[in-house]
Every structure is written in C-alpha cells, then in structure tokens.
Structure 1
C-alpha cells in the first residue's frame, strides 16, 4: 500500500439549538449584528451532562458504521480536541472503549481549530509508514463550556459538536501531503485559559492573519496535492466565520468548488468544524466520488494544516 484514503464520515450535534434571538435575550446583541459580523444564525449546545467524549463517540460510531469495518479492524484512534476536562484516560481511550475497539493506539491531539487536519495528517503518515491500517480520526469540542456568556464578541461564535472519518490503507494516495505550520509569535491571539477556563481572542489579529496569509498556504496545499485551485470540487475550511471563509476561498481561486458554510447553522466548533462540515457536505451527495477536496484547518496557536483529499 502506497497511501491512504477516506472511507467514511460521520457527525453528531447536540439537540439543543441556540438562535441569535436567544443570545439577544442574555447579552447586548441582535440577530442583525451577529449575522452581519460573522454570518452565524444558530449553534448547537451540549447539555450539562454531555461531555466531549459523548460528542466524539457519537460521531465516531456513525463513521465506523458507514465504513463497513468492524471495531476490531481499527488499529489507531486519534481525537482532536481542546476542551476535554479528563486527561487520563484520554478521550481517544474512552471512545475506543465505548465502540469496542481493542488493542489500538490511542491518542488525543491538541491543536485547537486545526486539530482535526493535524490528526488526519498523522493518521495518513502512520498508514504510509505501515504502523496502522485503519484509523478512526475524530474532531470534537464542547466550546460552550468555555464560553464567556457576558462577552458579546465571543459568545456569539461558539457551538458544540463532533465529526469523524475512517481512513484506510490504499494502493494509491488519496490523501495528499499536508502543508502545516504556525505563527507562534501570534499564538496568544486565540486563548482558552484562566480560572474559570474561558475562550478569548483578538479578533482583528486573527482576521488579518487568516485573510492575508492563509490563501497562499492553501494554494501550496493544492500544489502538493497535485491539483489546481480551480479544479477543486469542494473547499472545507475551518468554520471560523463567514468573514474569513468567503475571502479565503475567493483569494484561493477555487472558482468551481462548493465552499462549506456550515458555520451558519453550527457556529465555530473548533476541532470539530472541518469534519462536521465535511460529513454534512458528503451526506448531501453533492461531490462526485474521487473528486478533489481541500480540507484546511486553522486557528489557535496560530496554527494551520491543510491537504487535498479525494471524495470517498
């Protein structure tokens, strides 16, 4: 086997939906202000008893079922998250136990909003190296648990959810080489810290970095994946807000691609946003099998990771 491929996807969102009008009742904001500034209309909110593990396990179970594989076929589980409260056993271990996955390597990965694409690259590398055959890769975050509900600039952004993919060894590489990196000198522009732990960001710093630096990096990911931006069938960026997604996709030159805009109904779900948006996009069956798609996560640290993958 010379590479890896996406086999299946799955996603999960909590039942509770928080609208912009709901937020306007608890903080000084409005549907018009939120829609104009970030493009978000609704977001899903986990219950008090619903953990990051609960979100991750639901999405992982759906991806595993869709793959046609047994739990015993999985030999690597990677969970990208930045909001877990349990550190040992890690979330990957808890997900594996719930799904009945035996003997797999189990790791959590913390790279905030780019965590899923970092984890997907790690799975691809492990499979190419012969260290794994079938990997379960999950992005899951409970961002509302670290939200400051008195800060109208950040509380309008966050949502909860999870997305997952199954990746398997393949004769030909269907997951392109990753382009990844960071701007650590700007790393404090996105923060989840303090007591109590809260999410905060310097919005203008993030916006300038994302809209000026990321289009060129995304083009490099396309080049490494052997496709031109205009040949992409879909672009799935981190669902930060529409004011970032739309200009980055436009500057990239993906003129023929479907651009995922799940942020409108899901908000910013951090590590969950790329696999969640991807799973929903593929569920609608709008992308042809084998067509190239760009997956590109970015955000906290400030870090990024992107690659071209073929639609399963």
Structure 2
C-alpha cells in the first residue's frame, strides 16, 4: 500500500438537522450512534465523480500517474446503474484508459473484500499497480423519513494504491458471509434501504471481534502489536465495543464516523486517510481493518500503512 486519498462532500449535515425531522434532539442521535454530523453529496457529486477525486488524491500521495495503473476496482453498493461499471469510468478519467476495471459489491465489507482480491491479483502477476476505491452515495438509497437509517448514513469516497513489494504489506484475509440473515439490511425492489438496527448491532458487537482476532493470528501478530484499529464506521458504539474486545490498549482507534457518518464501503479507506493525514499512524505501522455489513458479509486483515512516497 503506497498511497491514500479521500473525497468528502462539502455539505456537512449536523445531527440536529436530522433529529428535527423526527421531533428528537441532536443529543438523542449522538447518544445512540456517536454521530455529530455526516456529509451529503450534492446532485452534481456522483459516485463515479467522488471515486475519481479520491483516486487522483491517492495517486498523488503515492507519487504516481494514472498511466502506472493497470487495474481499477471500485467497491460500492450505491452505484446508480448496473452497467457500465463505475470503475471503467474512473479508469478513463484518471488517465488509465486501458486498465482492467470492475466494481465489487460486498456492501460495508466491500473495501476489505476488494483489498484481498487486489493483493492476490498482484501476487498472481495479473496486475502490477492497482487503484482501489471505496465510493458511496448512500443518501440516494436512504429514505429521509426513516429514523433508523437516515440518522446514520453519509456519502464520500476513499482510495488506496497498491503495488508489488518484496516485503508483505497486506495480510491474509479472514472473510465470509451469512446469507440466511440478508433481510437484516436490504433494499427491496423499487424501494429504499431497510435495516433492522438492533439486530445488526447485536450481530456486530458479538460476532465480529473473533473474526478480527483470527486476522491477527493469520498475520502472525498479537492485537498488542497493532498501531491502529480501523473498523467499518457503522456506529461509534460498535467501533468502541470492537476495540475494547480486542484489548489493543495502545492502538489508535479510527472514529471517523463521528464527523462523516456511515459511508459503507468508503468508510475504512476514508478513516485510514484521515489517520494518515493527521499523522496519527507512523509509516509501515500495523493496522487492523475490519469490515461488516449487508449480506451479511464480514472481513478482516492486517495491513501496513504506506511509507513515504512511492519510488516505483
């Protein structure tokens, strides 16, 4: 992993504004979710457009041009149309017109799924440099009159650049799914998102931390070796519960959800970019990524934060 970047829409919507729709207060939302504000994309801010901006920033951070990219993967569950892929449009707009390109939908686990696929693609020799982006416009799928979802979700994009290295930088993934519980989070045909919030909360706070511990085991480290924990930014209570159960007391815990809400597949790369830009995680330090969400899907892996600008 040699570069990171993110795009955050300019419009910040405070919890007070959302709460007023339902006769509640901003404090009521913060007590239940930890969210103070979230970003809403405007009509001219598309999933593809946000992905392009995040991708360009990640390439700039890596010191690379679009011509170096031979594969673009966009993790998203809010793409407006089934075809063409968002990734193909991104590839053309970043200056990689002949790069392989495809979208991956594993909802809030999508970034971790795509990261594993990208790393294995490089190891297998099918690509040398991959631009991986998580991009979401969740407000397109959320019913503004639904209390359970409208207080949580926001929009944005985050990206990383991956390239081959003699030193392993992406650890083995632990992943899976439970389709028998898929109705807990779904979008019905022609409708808006439905989520059984309490059931999802119980699942995330009881079933996910063993996955995270397995990822540490597979990487050959202990949780105490971690410099950072970057869970999917679903809800601050879930983030803090997961971090506490891991017991990595000295690790920085990403809490980007407070200011940006739940951005599904974009949440982990956005949170990573924030930790990097604020200088809270040293280059080459170990970080645990943990995704979980609709499907139900889950995934976790240990990674090294980018070093200085790439030289490849």
TM norm. shorter chain > 0.5: yes
SS class of match (1:11): strand
User: Structure 1 residue aligned with 2:208, among 214, 228, 240?
Assistant: 214
1:11 aligns with 2:6: yes
1:188 aligns with 2:183: yes
Which deviates further from its counterpart, 15-24 or 137-146?
15-24
In structure 2, C-alpha distance between the alignment counterparts of 1:152 and 1:160, rounded to whole Å: 17
In structure 1, C-alpha distance between the alignment counterparts of 2:50 and 2:271, rounded to whole Å: 15
1:232 aligns with 2:226: yes
Deviation at 1:154, TM superposition (A): 1.3
In structure 1, C-alpha distance between the alignment counterparts of 2:101 and 2:42, rounded to whole Å: 26
In structure 2, C-alpha distance between the alignment counterparts of 1:241 and 1:255, rounded to whole Å: 20
CA contact (8 A) 1:8 1:67 kept: yes
Deviation at 1:28, TM superposition (A): 2.8
1:133 aligns with 2:128: yes
Deviation at 1:86, TM superposition (A): 2.5
Report the equivalent of 2:309.
Answer: none
CA contact (8 A) 1:238 1:296 kept: yes
SS class of match (1:194): coil
Report the equivalent of 2:48.
Answer: 53
1:172 aligns with 2:138: no
CA contact (8 A) 2:38 2:259 kept: yes
Report the equivalent of 1:299.
Answer: 293
Report the equivalent of 2:145.
Answer: 150
In structure 1, C-alpha distance between the alignment counterparts of 2:300 and 2:240, rounded to whole Å: 17
What is the count of residue pairs matched by the alignment?
306
In structure 1, C-alpha distance between the alignment counterparts of 2:5 and 2:222, rounded to whole Å: 28
Report the equivalent of 2:244.
Answer: 250
Structure 2 stretches of 5 or more lacking a match? Answer: 307-312
CA contact (8 A) 1:236 1:278 kept: yes
Alignment of 1:14-25 (within 5 A): 14-25=9-20
Relative to the length of structure 1, the TM-score reads: 0.96
In structure 2, C-alpha distance between the alignment counterparts of 1:25 and 1:186, rounded to whole Å: 32
Report the equivalent of 1:103.
Answer: 98
Deviation at 1:88, TM superposition (A): 2.1
User: Structure 1 residue aligned with 2:119, among 118, 124, 149?
Assistant: 124
Residues 71-127 of structure 1, C-alpha deviations (whole Å, 9 max, x = no match): 111011000001111222210001111111132110100000000110111100000
Deviation at 1:258, TM superposition (A): 0.4
Report the equivalent of 1:223.
Answer: 217
Moved over 4 A (4+): none
Residues 221-257 of structure 1, C-alpha deviations (whole Å, 9 max, x = no match): 0111121001100000000001111111111122111
Deviation at 1:302, TM superposition (A): 0.9
Deviation at 1:203, TM superposition (A): 1.1
In structure 2, C-alpha distance between the alignment counterparts of 1:151 and 1:103, rounded to whole Å: 42
1:70 aligns with 2:84: no
SS class of match (2:279): coil
User: Structure 1 residue aligned with 2:192, among 183, 187, 198?
Assistant: 198
Backbone CA RMSD of aligned residues: 1.0
User: Structure 2 residue aligned with 1:33, among 25, 28, 32?
Assistant: 28
CA contact (8 A) 1:27 1:149 kept: no
SS class of match (1:240): coil
1:261 aligns with 2:255: yes
Structure 1 stretches of 5 or more lacking a match? Answer: 1-5
